[in-house]
Amino acid sequence: MKFIASFFYELPMELKTFTVGPFSENTYLLTENDHAILIDPGFYDEREFRSFKGELEDSGEELLAVCLTHAHVDHILGLHKVLKEFDIPVYLNHSDLYLWNNFEQQSKIFGLSSGGFDFTPESLEEQKGFTLGNFEFDVIYTPGHSPDHVSLYFEKEDLLIAGDVIFHNSVGRTDLYKGEFDLLASSIREKLYALPDTTSVYPGHGPATTIGREKKHNAFVKAE
């Protein structure tokens, strides 16, 4: 079973991590005061999905929505499974919907088989104080790894869901559709490194880190 870790914060918010799929992608479940949101569902097989669903049922929270940091295949691989059982909205930045509209083709490139989607997600544009139920967070537009990429900053919890922009001692790849290293570095320096050094960073792959650590030690983008 690939469910590997849970991270807890003082009530009312709790964050749980599921590392799933052939890309070892981090899917996040946030719960707060009877509400829950799911971020980047990368579930590949039924066992991984049932692990998430069991955690949700045990929490007793209502799943309100899915939020996507971006639409690369590994971050939405489990979305069909989620929507089959939950009638909830999906949120994605609309700066460039090419990846979303070509999900089936993405899957084939990586030797996977998954159909596309027959709807357009709700728009998740850059803004401060976006609310979903009991959750409030800032949506930070962070392109460079992908043109639709956002990071989600929960100021009250001092917590960032970073997607594939920055990792522990690394950054997201820039050799895919509209990837650009200089743009990625700008997103990191100008937007993410502007957050408090104490901010916990939960990336799309690998272990958690902090803004302060990456400013000092990231091998690709250090603070200026």
pLDDT in tens, 155-183: 999 999 999 999 999 999 999 999 999 99
Domain, as residue range, for 197: 5-217
Residue 12: predicted pLDDT: 75
Residue 47: predicted pLDDT: 97
Is the residue at 223 inside a domain?
no
Whether the Cβ atoms of residue 58 and residue 44 lie closer than 8 Å to each other: no
Is the residue at 62 inside a domain?
yes
Cα–Cα dist 36/13, whole Å: 9
Q: What does residue 67 show for φ and ψ, rounded to 5 degrees?
A: -115, 135
Cα–Cα dist 152/82, whole Å: 21
Is the residue at 198 inside a domain?
yes
Is the residue at 207 inside a domain?
yes
Is the residue at 222 inside a domain?
no
Beta-sheet strands, E only, within 40-191: 62-67, 90-92, 122-123, 127-132, 135-141, 150-154, 159-163, 166-167, 170-171
Cα–Cα dist 205/51, whole Å: 19
Task: Please tell me the total count of domains within the chain.
Answer: 1
Cα–Cα dist 179/181, whole Å: 7
What the block records as the tokens of 125 is 């544009």
- pTM equals 0.94
Is the residue at 150 inside a domain?
yes
The domain that holds 63 is classified in CATH as: 3.60.15.10
Is the residue at 224 inside a domain?
no
What mean pLDDT comes out for the span 64-86?
97
Q: What is the pLDDT of residues 10-31, one digit of tens each?
A: 457 999 999 999 999 999 999 9
The pLDDT of residue 7 is above 60: no
What is residue 7's three-state secondary structure? Answer: strand
